């Protein structure tokens, strides 16, 4: 279409108080909310760019339009490379990134009692 692609990736923590109700209602609902917010934020880009919001919930689901986009991207990469599993690799890579993100969140949630009290644990 002669336009550059612009994307914005958001990882949402669906157990945050503001998302719990939507998360309980439907798997992927929080990702859809985040993607909608990104689309509104970048509405002015429509005439110059193709905008693709990518919203991933911290426990896995990806918004629908991003799933379609990434699937198409994987197929196009596979056509160029000759490796038919490229689409799978793309989603696996994204899954590993989310797992690493979750590991950092988990690690950072532990309290360092020695740092807070000055007393060795």
pLDDT for the residue numbered 106: 77
Domain boundaries, the chain: 4-109
pLDDT for the residue numbered 35: 94
pLDDT digits (tens, 9 = 90+) for 57-68: 888 889 999 999
pLDDT for the residue numbered 86: 93
Q: Check: CB of residue 114 under 8 Å from CB of residue 108.
A: no
**Residues with Cβ within 8 Å of residue 86, at least 6 apart in sequence:** 74, 75, 77, 78
Q: Which residue is it, tokens 């590991």?
A: 103
**Residues with Cβ within 8 Å of residue 69, at least 6 apart in sequence:** 52, 54
Q: Check: CB of residue 64 under 8 Å from CB of residue 72.
A: no
Q: pTM of the full predicted structure?
A: 0.76
pLDDT: is 22 or 106 the higher one?
22
CB count in 10 Å sphere of residue 90: 17
Q: How confident is the model at residue 104 (pLDDT cuts 50, 70, 90)?
A: confident
pLDDT for the residue numbered 77: 94
């Amino acid at each position: 279409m002669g336009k550059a692609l612009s994307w914005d990736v958001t990882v949402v923590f669906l157990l945050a108080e503001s998302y719990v109700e939507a998360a309980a209602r439907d798997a992927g609902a929080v990702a859809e909310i985040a993607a909608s917010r990104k689309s509104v934020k970048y509405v002015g880009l429509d005439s110059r760019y193709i905008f693709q919001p990518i919203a991933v919930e911290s426990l896995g689901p990806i918004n629908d339009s991003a799933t379609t986009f990434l699937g198409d991207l994987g197929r196009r990469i596979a056509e160029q490379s000759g490796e038919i599993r490229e689409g799978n690799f793309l989603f696996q890579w994204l899954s590993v990134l989310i797992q690493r993100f979750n590991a950092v969140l988990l690690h950072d949630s532990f309290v360092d009692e020695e740092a807070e009290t000055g007393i060795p644990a």
